[in-house]
Amino acid sequence: MGLLFDKREAPIKGLTLTLVLILALFLFSTIAEAGKRRPAKVDLTYYFDSRDYNTLNVQTSLPDLPWDFNIWGFIDIHSEQNNADQRFDLNRYFFEYRLKRSFFPNAKPAWKGLGFEIEYNDANGTDNSVIRTGMTYKHPVPFFHGEKSWFEWRYHPYETDGSGSQVSLIYSLHMTERIFISGFVDLNLENDTDNRWLFEPQINFKIDETFDLVLETRYNEFEDANNALDGFGVAGGIKIKF
């Protein structure tokens, strides 16, 4: 995704979306605090990838919307692969946002974790936007440091681009109070070509309430199928939590 783009427009659009989103989230936080709802969260992470490019990741969440809805999503703004001299030139982007709700928000934990979501993805270039709909199931993994650890299983049988469907696992596993592993595994079930895997396990080292150090392994089989790109890399960075 996102291999065809106008370098002049990509960073402007990506950064504009980021700034608008952050402003909206902070406004919502003010409203949420007045209404006794949980406030919005924003995390900024800057990565250095082993494939000679950098990434600015902006992760956001609205955990307590009316009618038990919530939103989680992120924007990745990247430089080009294999171009060490231009690794600070962030000129391509990808974003993903999910609107979610539990089917049974007031039920016992075993049923509360069952829900549905609508996911929107887009990237610089043409014909890169897609909406997915499907079901999710989130549950704790108590043998990893209590109730802080969890798995979330997702199945999206419908995609607006007609390319296929997707099965995913998202996870957060706490090893200690300061070290946890998070990430995702996506299997894209393609109609007209080979199925594609994506995964990004990340180890997080909590410095304090504001900063984390992160180390992430990245694999994208869509990129790996392109002769101009390398689908595997390792990235390290620092996260700022607001």
Alpha carbon 204 to chain centroid distance? Answer: 15
Render pLDDT for 126-171 as a digit per residue (tens, 0 to 9).
678 899 999 999 999 988 876 789 999 999 999 999 999 999 999 9
Angstrom distance (rounded) from CA 76 to CA 128: 14
Q: Is 204 within 8 Å of 182 (Cβ atoms)?
A: yes
Q: Is residue 1 part of a domain?
A: no
Q: Is residue 3 part of a domain?
A: no
pTM for this entry: 0.85
Q: How many domains is the chain partitioned into structurally?
A: 1
Asked whether the predicted pLDDT for residue 24 surpasses 80, the reply is: no
Q: Is residue 35 part of a domain?
A: yes
Asked whether the predicted pLDDT for residue 30 surpasses 70, the reply is: no
The domain containing residue 26 runs over which residues? Answer: 10-241
Dihedral class, residue 67 (left if φ above 0, else alpha if ψ from -120 to 50, else beta): left
Q: Is residue 207 part of a domain?
A: yes
Q: Is residue 99 part of a domain?
A: yes
